[in-house]
Structure 1
């Protein structure tokens, strides 16, 4: 944990490595920590680039200690397993210190993801205004306000932060087993804009960015899942506009090479917001998800 304290002012909590195989945020927070040692800070910045350290060291989404998915265990339990204890520490110790929370994610080894910032809707007009301010400062290419019905719901770090009255957002910064340079740069630039706009690092350099495109997640029923173990052959890319009835790809069954492949089709219009990265898929794996533009 890195804490840079510049005295009176707001506190921002920055986390990455909630899932150990997501590296863009981990690198971006290291860059931010170095940058903040070279500029004036008013307020406080708390940085945890390896929040779920056992998972980071193992290069896994979940902790090797107890199999826990940290982003599904908030608000946590101090008397439970080690992953739940981390969630409890963040909730009980760090949230009370913070005004704003940014938890950086990417698709990791399993998903290729459209670059997007996501936030839960505020519970009060003031909180809603602060969350909107945070999204506008960060300026990811795409922004989504979510009702929390999918992707872990209320058990995620950023959802728990909102439940505790904070302004919070999370990100998806691309994906794959390596590092996306574009995703890393996006995270660093977004945080620089937030820190400058909030007056915490008023002199830090931050590139300008276009306003975000506003999107909404389509219901989980529009997500395509693998119906069996097989090899996923995609026919679309992340960001593609698709129509209901169009093919998303094929699933080739394992162990039955003469069986017909299964054709997978979309059941709604939208944009492909994520696509499974590995070709090998198990029953129940998410293969493609959709979002749509919000019409003004």
Structure 2
């Protein structure tokens, strides 16, 4: 017998109109014996049409998405909608409240815990609710991310799963072009993240990567908001004055190869990048130096690229330990979406 998810919603997802409330995750602690974790949620529903789930704050130190989703909750009205939009601005609320990537309650990384566990830790319970309750009723999802505290992505980017066949390729291509951020990165499924959770539930999910470094860029906020509104209009949910005249950009389709496109530190020290965001690099090219101020006679260690491509992301923090990601690349993608 399966365990029911303990999260209870203040709002009725089947009811028409605009509702704003909380998902209540029971959490009994010393300061609050019968307490619950408040995960903000909104539903805007009118007539018949697709259901679109928009989330942010899966990682609590990624801020642009939280601002965008909160703004959309204020802006979107039932008269603009045909179907339903469900919005969560602080999906992993404990992490978002603390401004940390993972939850301070269980060190849970929400985007590495799908399909979750209804009898597990708080972050596992949230993952299970998103997949089994919210994604189960949605056709589309966008989960808004940025580089967080430790990483910086160049500009406004989309990320999604490689299509499985020609029919899905056409559909995914149209959605990415409607979203219209400057670059789109496609990658192979990771069964524990939300894009794979969406695929299991029959929905299409895209992520964004918007800047980072623990900061907020108003330009990236505007680009991603405009892209989301255009995407909502493209799938037939949104109409009216909020619909942009066009997509923000024509995206360049690229591909991330997990085995060769990530550069990691293999020594603890201070890292010095030898390339900048947007640079084109080749396999075997020097990527960074690791310095050792605690051992000043020691020469720095050079880190090399294992693959070729464009630098799309770099570490924001100078201190590095073994296993920290320093740089990320993406390569050109061949095929119909190019």
> What is the TM-score of this pair, normalised by structure 1?
0.93
- Whether the 8 Å CA contact 1:173–1:186 is kept in 2: the answer is no
Q: Which aligned pairs between 1:30-41 and structure 2 lie closer than 5 A?
A: 30-37=70-77, 40-41=80-81
Pairing partner for 2:62 from 22, 34, 38:
22
> Which residue number corresponds to residue 220 of structure 2?
183
> Which residue number corresponds to residue 53 of structure 2?
13
Task: State the structure with more CA Rg.
Answer: 2
> Which residue number corresponds to residue 180 of structure 2?
139
Cα distance per residue 1:150-181 (max 9 Å; x no partner):
xxx11111221012111111111111111122
Which structure's residues are more often helix, by fraction? 1
Inter-CA distance 180–220: structure 2 relative to 1 (3 Å threshold): farther
Q: Which aligned pairs between 1:190-269 and structure 2 lie closer than 5 A?
A: 190-203=227-240, 204-208=242-246, 209-253=248-292, 255-269=294-308
Q: Distance in 1 between the 2:268 and 2:245 partners?
A: 45
Confirm or deny that 1:116 pairs with 2:157: yes
- Whether the 8 Å CA contact 2:95–2:104 is kept in 1: the answer is yes
Structure 2 stretches lacking a partner, 5+ long: 1-40
- Whether the 8 Å CA contact 2:63–2:215 is kept in 1: the answer is yes
Name the SS of the counterpart of 1:18 in structure 2: coil
Name the SS of the counterpart of 1:50 in structure 2: coil
| Deviation of 1:126 (Å) | 5.4
Inter-CA distance 272–46: structure 2 relative to 1 (3 Å threshold): same
Name the SS of the counterpart of 1:63 in structure 2: coil
| Deviation of 1:125 (Å) | 5.8
How large is the RMSD of aligned CA atoms in angstroms?
1.8
Q: Distance in 2 between the 1:14 and 1:192 partners?
A: 11
Structure 1 stretches lacking a partner, 5+ long: none
> What is the TM-score of this pair, normalised by structure 2?
0.82
Confirm or deny that 1:106 pairs with 2:143: no
- Whether the 8 Å CA contact 1:127–1:167 is kept in 2: the answer is no
Q: Which has the higher contact order (CA 8 A, sep 6+)?
A: 1
